[in-house]
Amino acid sequence: MIALLERIIDEIPDWETRILKLETASSLGAIVWVAWEIGLSVARILVENELSRRAKLPTEWPHCPHCGSRLNSKGFQKRSIVTLVGTVNWSRRVGRCPLKCQNSQRVPLDDLLLIKPDQKTSDEVMRLGCLLAIFVPLGITSKLLKQLTGIKVCSQTIGNWIASKGKLTMEQTQTEIAAFEQGDNPIPESLSSDVEKMALALAADGVMVPFRPEEKTPSGTTQWREVKVGVIARLGAYFTRSGKTATRLHQRRLVAVLGNINDLGPRLMLEAIRSGLHRASKVVWLSDGGVGFWNLYDQHLAPLNVIGVLDFYHAAGHLWSAAAAYKDGRTREAKNWFKQWRHHLRHGDSKEVILELEKVLPEGCLTPSQRQIIRRVHNYLKTHENHITYKSFEADAIPRGSGMVESACKWLIQQRFKGVGMRWSFDGFNHLLHLRLAWVNGRFDDLFSDANFFSNSGPSPNS
């Protein structure tokens, strides 16, 4: 230990100058920054010392993958890699096949350290870069990384990290979906007893994202594509400052896909089963009136006795269409009629609203176009008759709106993918989207080599 301390003092540049600078610093911030610089230098020497120690340990040589001969040591070769404590340099043994087979070189210590042959940056730096890129554009990520760590990494390199880890996440997702479609259900996540008792809610919606018309070129007219988003969460209750009961989401999990409703279905069900779909005491489906989303409900969720809820504000919007047609536009009479029956829809018997529309339809004062609008609203509410019983929903502490998924669309998609001037390539969008999903679902750290260290080094994004 004394030898190590002596080495630290000898190898840190301007050691005495730095200590003097620390002693004469006038503010807390200045003291911290000087100590931080010294700490990084000490950390780098400690890492190099530990790597040198491990390199001198006896080496268990593997066999050549081509001819089966045991590899021979060819001595020590230098290696360097960029880490959070600076560029670390060390030497380690390299072995080759005695018969000189091609591509037979192996470095056992690198394998033990989980370092790839062409890797220039350590996992903790890549993790931090990918984590920053989840929230801000790559150019800003590069500047933040330099500000936080002193490590200069260009935007293109960060983009390569995103592509590598994003592709890995997509492959894992596809593997899980393939297994699920073959009847292999995922293992449910462990939940606390309090969360286990809460109702499980599922919701879905779509949001448009701007894309480039052609890959690798910014020219051409922007193409807008819909991203399907799904939310799975436990519904907890809490009291506001005014004493009212409100809903708070627990164990929130998200799915999203640039595709159609058939692509969303297995992803949503996979995550729902992982969140305890089959053992929840109550399961609720929340959505607006999108036909595709309700087809998904009818196909996957209705057979499981999941309670379907049509977003109240969406249903009220249709009711206003009927009011405007019946009472000739935005007149006071139309507003009063709408206010009366909207209140009834929210607090009374929804069947009476449907009956009211049936009474209105035969009236002779209606034009064919007005009658067509009212009939469309009537048929729409009739189709969702079992999904608009909002008074009973409230009594059972079931939300009446799909705000949980609308909010998710805003911060998952819009905040990151719809900035000023942004247009995405198909691969660029998918890679970053899957990293954002991995983070919010608590699986981001599993993408890096030392997953156990990263997962225990800080709080979960959902805690």
Query: Tokens 């977003």 appear where?
Result: 311
Q: What is the DSSP letter of 396?
A: T
For tokens 């009063």, the residue is 336
How far is residue 443's CA from residue 40's CA, in Å, rounded to a whole number? Answer: 29
Assigned fold of 185-311+401-424 = Nucleotidyltransferase; domain 5 (3.30.420)
Task: For residue 169, give the amino acid letter.
Answer: T
Q: Which two tokens stand for residue 336?
A: 């009063």
> Who's near 140: CB < 8 A, 6+ residues apart?
132
State how far the Cα of 343 lies from the Cα of 346, in Å rounded to an integer.
Answer: 5
Q: Where are the domains of the chain?
A: 2-124, 126-184+426-463, 185-311+401-424, 313-387
The CA distance from 46 to 53, in Å, is 11
Q: For residue 238, which phi and psi values (nearest 5 degrees)?
A: -150, 165
pLDDT of residue 463: 39
φ, ψ for residue 213, nearest 5 deg: -70, -25
Q: How far apart are CA 256 and CA 229, in angstroms?
A: 4
pLDDT of residue 450: 67
Amino acid at residue number 33: W
pLDDT per residue of the chain (463 residues) written in tens, 0 to 9: 566 666 666 666 666 677 778 888 888 988 888 888 888 888 888 899 899 999 999 998 999 989 999 999 999 999 999 999 999 999 999 999 999 899 889 999 999 998 988 899 999 999 999 999 999 999 999 999 999 888 999 999 999 999 999 999 999 999 999 999 999 999 999 989 999 999 999 999 999 999 998 877 777 888 999 999 999 999 988 777 887 777 788 999 999 999 999 999 999 999 999 999 999 989 999 999 889 999 999 999 999 999 999 999 999 999 999 999 988 777 888 899 999 999 999 998 889 999 999 998 888 778 889 999 999 999 999 999 999 999 999 888 888 888 888 988 999 999 999 988 889 999 999 999 999 999 999 999 999 876 555 555 444 444 3
Provide DSSP, 304-337.
GTPEEEE-HHHHHHHHHHHHHHHTTSS-HHHHHH
DSSP, res 298: I
Per the DSSP assignment, residues forming a β-bridge with 245 are 239
Alpha carbon of residue 228 to chain centroid? 13
Q: Chain-centre distance of CA 141, in angstroms? A: 18
What is the distance of C-alpha 28 from the center of its chain? 37
Q: How far apart are CA 92 and CA 75, in angstroms?
A: 8
Q: Quick check: pTM over 0.75?
A: yes
What is d(CA 194, CA 58) in angstroms, rounded to the nearest whole number? 52
pLDDT the model gives residue 175: 95
Contact 354, 381 (CB under 8 A): yes
Max CA distance (Å), the chain: 101
Which 8-state DSSP code applies to residue 402?
A: -
* 197 vs 169: CA distance, rounded Å: 31
Host H or E run for residue 203: strand 199-211
* Residue ranges of E strands in 33-190: 72-83, 86-96
The answer to whether the CB of 305 falls within 8 A of the CB of 383 is no
Half-sphere exposure of 243 (CA within 13 A, CB side): 0
- Residues counted in the chain: 463
Helix (H) or strand (E) holding 248: strand 245-257
Which pLDDT does position 460 carry in this prediction? 45
Tokens of 425: 């390539």
Distance from C-alpha of 232 to C-alpha of 437, rounded to nearest angstrom: 13
**Sequence letter at residue 148:** L
Of the CA atoms within 13 Å of residue 146, those in its CB half-sphere come to: 11
Packing angle of the helix pair 312-326, 368-383 (nearest 10 deg): 160
